[in-house]
Every structure is written in structure tokens, then in C-alpha cells.
Amino acid sequence: MISVSLVALSGLSLGACVSSMAYTSKVEAAYPPDGQQVAVNGHGVHVMTRGPEAAPVVLMIHGASANAREFTWTLAPRLEMDLRVLMVDRPGHGYSERFGGADTLAAQAAQMAGALELLAPGRKATVVGHSFGGAVALRLALDRPDLVSSLVLLAPVTHDWGDAEGGTAWYNSFAANPVFGPFFSQLAPIAGPAQMKNGISGVFAPAPTPPDYFENSGIGLFLRPPNFRANAQDMTQLKQELAEQSRRYGELAVPITVFSGSKDTVVSPKLHTARLKKQVPIELVILPDEGHMPHHGEGSAVAGAIRRLAFSRQTR
């Protein structure tokens, strides 16, 4: 019985690996790298750039389960005519390399800082962060204030959520597990696509989901096993990371604009944005009919705030 079970398990594992390899090959052919690879702290960082090289700099940091393509068809087209836009894949996401310790906000912010120093040397940037990317943007401003002129945060996660319901999805604890996580992550390409497409509407609600969002943002890249596992490690570490980071928010000394959907059910405005506002001055834009993706439904307003901050700080 034991030998039969082992053979069956081995067959299942092999089948999952073959399936995930085929999926990875297909999705990477559909969504190849669209930027340049730069070496930061010995690890590759994938950066997509748009706009005039000499223009004021905007650095964009994507959220969980995503990659930098999130901004290529939403905000970048509204900004690239007169701003230098850098859209960066976080470590282990898109086409940026994962490395030991990359699940800390400090490590991710350091990769963002290195990309800025290489591609916009001697210049400060307006840093835009969505959701998890908001936490990284805040850490970048804390650790490298010499590189940040202002922040625009979109539905940001900023604080630990204590005993409140929600937080991370159940599958993250499985995928992040050091023992069986690598095998569990091989299953993501099998069950993941249909589940993700069905769940996207809840992220946007009550706003409508843009047509072809899954395709335009290259969300399929997330279901590659290494990317899926990297995201799970980020998410399972995040609560403790934010508990420590949030104690430092009083150090922030740059203009901060926050766009918050009042009906966001992914990142509670009460548990995050409202608490940030108590610690540091922010310009808060409350969007009554938006959920967790304000840069889509309110892209024009978000782009306007980015442009205003980028040019106002440039002249000081």
C-alpha cells in the first residue's frame, strides 16, 4: 500500500510539474519582458520605462498578485508625454529576480531604490504605490528620503490588521510553507486561471471590471509557480512587517496623496488609510464609488495628482 501510494504521489507531482512548465512557457510567450533588466544588489530588476528621459521622474510599484504591466495601459499613457515613468516589477514578480530575504519591505524598497539610482541618477521621484506597493513606497520614503520627492498611494496597505478578519488568502500559507510549498505552487497553473478570472470582479467592485483586464495586465504571469510562491511569502510576512514599519511613519516628511475607495473590501480604509492619517499629514481623496482599483475608474484624477506633485516638487 505504501509503495502504491508513493508511486501515485510521484505521478501526481510529475504531472503537475509538466503542466506548470507548459503553462509557464505559454504565458511567458504571450507576455514577454517589455523593459530592461538592471542589476541591483546583485539581482536582476525588470523595469519598463516610458516618456522623455529628462522629464520629472515617476516610479510606480505594483501590488500583490500583479506586475508592472498593471500601469502600462492605465496610468502610463496619461503621463508619458511629459513625465519619465519607471514601472518596476517587485522581486519575484513579473520578470524581477527573487532572492533570499526578498519578503521584507526593506529588501523590496532597496531594489526600487537601486533601480532609481541607475535609471534616474541624482534625481528624486514621485513614487506611486498600489496596495502592497503602497507599503513598499512608504518604506522607500522612510529608508531613502534622498530619492523620494512625494508619494501617491492607491488603496494602500499601511498597517497590520491585528485580529480583524481578512488579511491573506488561505492558499498563501500553503504556498509559502518551506516543506510542501514548492509542490503546492505547482498546482497554481492548473486551478488558478479560472479562479482568478472569477474573483477579479470582487477586487473592482462596486466599479465595473475593465474589459480584458486579465490580459492587458498580464495577470497570468502570477500563476507561474515561482511567482505564486514569492507572492505567498510576501503576503504571509506582511502583517509583521507592517507592525514594525508603521511605528516609523512619523518620520515621513514628503507630500502624500492617498486615493481610497470607500467600498474597498480588499484593504479596509478604516484599518489602513485612516490610521496613516493619524500619524502623518496626507491629502486624502475618498472615492465613494470605487473599490480596490482606483487607478482604473479614476485614472484621470490619479494621473492629475501625480503630475501636480511631480512638477511642483521639480521646481523646488
pLDDT of residue 314: 61
172 membership: H or E segment, kind and range = helix 170-176
pLDDT of residue 313: 64
pLDDT tens per residue across span 245-298:
999 999 999 999 999 999 999 999 999 999 999 999 999 999 999 999 999 999
Closest CA to 260 of 222, 291, 221: 291
Mention the CATH class of domain 36-163+241-314. Answer: alpha beta
Q: Pairing between strand 36-40 and 256-261?
A: unpaired
Task: Confirm if 129 and 137 have CB atoms less than 8 A apart.
Answer: yes
Would the pLDDT of 6 be above 80? Answer: no
Would the pLDDT of 219 be above 50? Answer: yes
Would the pLDDT of 101 be above 60? Answer: yes
- Name residues whose C-beta falls within 8 Å of residue 87's C-beta, 6 or more positions apart in sequence: 35, 47, 48, 49, 50, 60, 62, 68, 69, 71, 72, 76
pLDDT of residue 167: 65
Q: What is the distance between the alpha carbons of residues 78 and 71, in angstroms, rounded to a whole number?
A: 10
Q: What is the distance between the alpha carbons of residues 14 and 62, in angstroms, rounded to a whole number?
A: 33
Q: CA angle, corner 218, sides to 205 and 185, nearest 5?
A: 90
Task: Give pTM, 2 decimals.
Answer: 0.94
pLDDT of residue 315: 45
Of residues 81 and 13, the one with the higher pLDDT is 81
Determine which of 11-15, 49-53, 124-128, 159-163 has the lowest per-residue pLDDT on average: 11-15
pLDDT of residue 17: 79
Determine which of 18-27, 150-159, 246-255 has the lowest per-residue pLDDT on average: 18-27
| Percentage above 90 pLDDT, the chain | 87
| Gyration radius of the chain over CA positions | 19
Would the pLDDT of 172 be above 90? Answer: yes
pLDDT of residue 128: 99
Domain parsing of the chain, residue ranges:
36-163+241-314
